[in-house]
Chains A and B, each alone.
Chain A
Amino acid sequence: MPLIAELPPIRFVAHEFPQADVFGDTGKSLTKIADLATRHWRDRVEHILSESENEEPPDYQSIPLQVVKSVKVRYQFAGKLKPIPYDWDD
């Protein structure tokens, strides 16, 4: 049985250099199948890969929320309450 070498398994999609381009029909067919397999695999593990592939934190900018509706509420102060008992031996 094959053994796993000391290489991270994500190297399937994270090779430092892409393979040399191909020009023949056979090579193109292979590339197409490999791309499909890579996409299939990437779609399923992208959330795992994204942490290792992106060294910099994402520059996410949140979208400001838009007011769609106003609701009036009324609060009534009930006074100071005692803490809820907590069983430390639980």
Chain B
Amino acid sequence: MSPRTHYSNAPITEAILDIRTTSPEGLALERLEEIHSLIQEDYPSKQQRNLARGRWNFGTQVGATATQTPLGYLFLSPDEKQIVQVRMDGFTMSRLAPYESWEQIRDEAHRLWEIYSESIQPRSIERVAVRYINRIDIPLPFGDLTEYLRTIPQVSPDLPQELSGLFMQLTLPQPDIDSEARLSEALIDPVREGVVSIVLDIDLYRIKKLPYHGDAIWEFFEILHDRKNRIFEACITDRTRELIS
């Protein structure tokens, strides 16, 4: 099966490229903030991201403490459809619908990663991931989910087949590329009347034998993206293809 590259009515609601890093010792938050001045033209809005931690103490006295540590920044495009995160622990690029193309998000992420890595000089890369969240709106009525999806929970034929809720998460090893795919499927509130909305989330990541700096990361992102396409194609049927073409 050759992966399709583009659907005119693609169900992608969010596409994410994620790189987790180990930062250099003593990295100051200001260094992350300085990145904004380099990309402010395309990403004018800035928000600080914090890491909140809570702790309960039990004993002779019960108490609770909470701390908030700055983790990094979000930079948003004018339409807020494109979001860049620069954090102490990595870099993430998110694209919300409408999704244009892999090439568009990849090239932009590459450009911004170069700025991030040049500024921060991360010590190592701990994880790389490509995550695509799809929402498939299946028109009512339909007989069975298998008409649209090929990876679904199996309910015994001896039981009623109606579902009022669904959440399934599978971790699928991809040993040939030293990666794993975390596939999540859920029924969510329908986006409009007359449809059933199903989320198909494909998160492909690698946390071992990671490529190091330079083009190797971006060559590997191509492999992850290609695998993501294969998994998506493997999970849908021709009826779904008709819906999104």
Contacts and interface: CB of A to CB of B under 8 A. Distances in A.
Interface of A: 2, 5, 7, 11-12, 16-17, 19-27, 29-30, 33-34, 36-37, 61, 63-64
B13 interface: yes
Interface residues of B, number: 35
A16 B126 CA distance: 10
A37 B167 contact: yes
Contact of B127 (A5, A17, A64): A17
12 contacts: A2-B170, A17-B126, A17-B207, A19-B131, A26-B197, A26-B199, A29-B186, A30-B186, A30-B199, A34-B169, A37-B169, A64-B60
Interface string B125-169: 011010101010000000000000000000000000000000101
Contacts of B133: 22, 24, 26-27, 30
User: Would you list the 5 A-B pairs with minimal beta carbon distance, nearest first?
Assistant: A20-B18, A26-B13, A29-B188, A24-B14, A26-B135
A23 B14 contact: yes
B186 A20 contact: no
A28 to B, nearest CB: 10
What is the predominant secondary structure among interface residues of chain A facing chain B?
loop
B222 to A, nearest CB: 18
Contacts of B18: 20
B230 interface: no
Contacts of A16: 207
B16 interface: yes
Contacts of A64: 60
A78 B14 CA distance: 82
Interface in B80-110: 83, 85, 92, 94, 96-97
B54 interface: no
Nearest to B94: A23
B55 to A, nearest CB: 12
A22 B59 CA distance: 38
Contacts of B83: 23
